[in-house]
């Protein structure tokens, strides 16, 4: 008798399970929100600077950091994005607001890093304009501004550094005495001046992404030449540089878009081979130091 009752209950249990699944699916469908403003998805890239930096001309503006905000998803209640600047990649979470056709964002970094803060952004024409404020007000630069344009990122092995720029490592210098030999043969010290290392024009001629380099191509290069040729490989892949020297070289370059912190798995066979060669010669290479005005 018990067996008969159990067999009779099975169809009702199966129907109940199906109804429960339908209810759960209906709930999940109700929770999922429609994505909006998909036209804003993608990389928004531009200068990231302080008000003080903006007051200066020339080299000071060349030293602006490059900011990339990658907008990944927008719904009525949530914006999911990511910021990349100074080699630091941070998740962003916030909300989009619309008022009379004007679109604004407020995006927050997690707050687990000492340099985390809040982005307040307005869409003006085709540009994202706004300010970033650090949560920690004791930082040297607690507030920065930015203007970002939408950009696509695509690896291109043929990209090269612009030849019109000068490549001097302003972050690395030696203090050298300026000496003068007098008529009586004595040597007088006129002062001590900073001398900076600089790159040669070989950085515009050697492409380590398209050409298998040979020892004779690199054996007489300066250390800075070797470092720039190697790091141009990484820049083509969208590597976000942490070291100030390379940020100074690549951030001003129009085609450079900092995307991620690791590109090891993106490198081609030629690039991996050339990196090993460049690293081997970098160990023993020397730099020339010269005086430069700024």
Region 57-67 average pLDDT: 67
The CA distance from 148 to 34, in Å, is: 26
Instruction: State which H helix or E strand residue 29 sits in.
Output: helix 2-31
Neighbouring-strand partners of residue 132: 119, 144
Residue 29: pLDDT over 50: no
pLDDT in tens, 162-214: 998 889 988 876 766 555 565 666 655 555 678 888 999 999 999 999 999 99
Cross-strand partners of 104:
97, 122
pTM as predicted: 0.81
What is the pLDDT at residue 106? 98
Task: For the domain made up of 38-151, give the CATH fold.
Answer: Lipocalin (2.40.128)
- The string of pLDDT tens digits covering residues 109-126 is 999 999 999 999 999 999
User: What residues does 136 pair with on adjacent strands?
Assistant: none
Burial 98-122 (b: 16+ CB within 10 A, else e): eeeeebebbbbbeeeeeebbbbebe
> Residue ranges of the domains in the chain?
38-151, 168-290
Half-sphere exposure of 271 (CA within 13 A, CB side): 20
Listed residue (201, 203, 194) closest to 175, CA to CA? 194
| CB-count exposure of residue 202 (10 Å: 0-12, 13-18, 19+) | middle
Reported as type and span, the H/E element at residue 189 is strand 187-198
Is the pLDDT assigned to residue 4 strictly greater than 60? Answer: no
The stretch 104-110 carries a mean pLDDT of 97
Contact 186, 215 (CB under 8 A): no
Mean pLDDT, rounded, for 60-74: 85
Please report, to the nearest 10 degrees, the dihedral formed by the alpha carbons of residues 13, 18, 23, 27 taken in order: 130
CA quadruple 260, 255, 204, 220: dihedral, nearest 10: -10
Mean pLDDT of 276-291: 90
Is the separation of the CB atoms in 216 and 279 below 8 Å?
no
pLDDT band at 264 (very low <50, low <70, confident <90, very high): very high
Which pair of tokens denotes residue 97?
């607001």
The mean pLDDT value for 143-167 works out to 95
Neighbours of 279 (CB within 10 A): 12
Answer yes or no: is pLDDT of 56 > 80.
no
Strand partners, 239: 260
Q: What is the CA radius of gyration of the chain?
A: 28
Q: What is the mean pLDDT of the chain?
A: 86
Mean pLDDT over residues 267-275, rounded? Answer: 98
CB atoms within 10 A of CB 278: 24
């Amino acid at each position: 008798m018990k067996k008969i009752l159990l067999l009779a209950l099975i169809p009702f249990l199966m129907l109940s399970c199906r109804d429960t699944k339908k209810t759960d699916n209906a709930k999940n469908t109700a929770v999922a929100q429609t994505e909006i403003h998909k036209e804003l998805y993608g990389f928004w890239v531009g200068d990231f600077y302080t008000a003080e930096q903006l007051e200066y001309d020339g080299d000071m503006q060349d030293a602006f950091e490059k900011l990339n905000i990658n907008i990944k998803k927008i719904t009525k209640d949530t914006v999911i994005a990511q910021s990349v600047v100074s080699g630091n990649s941070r998740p962003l979470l916030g909300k989009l607001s619309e008022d009379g056709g004007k679109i604004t964002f407020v995006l927050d970094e997690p707050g687990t890093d000492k340099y985390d803060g809040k982005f307040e952004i307005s869409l003006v024409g085709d540009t994202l304009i706004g300010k970033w404020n650090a949560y920690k007000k004791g930082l040297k630069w607690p507030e920065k501004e930015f203007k970002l344009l939408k950009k696509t990122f695509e690896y291109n092995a043929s990209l090269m550094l612009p030849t019109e720029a000068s490549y001097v490592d302003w972050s690395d210098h030696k203090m050298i005495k300026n000496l003068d030999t007098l008529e009586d043969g004595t040597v007088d010290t006129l002062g001590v001046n900073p001398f900076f290392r600089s790159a040669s024009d070989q950085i515009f001629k050697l492409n380590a992404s398209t050409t298998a380099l040979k020892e004779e191509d690199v054996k007489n290069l300066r250390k800075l030449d070797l470092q720039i040729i190697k790091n141009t490989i990484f820049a083509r892949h969208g590597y976000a540089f942490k070291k100030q020297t390379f940020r100074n070289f690549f951030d001003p370059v129009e085609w450079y878009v900092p995307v991620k912190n690791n590109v090891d798995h993106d490198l081609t066979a030629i690039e991996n081979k050339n990196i090993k060669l460049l690293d081997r010669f970098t160990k023993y290479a020397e730099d020339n130091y010269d005086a430069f005005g700024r």
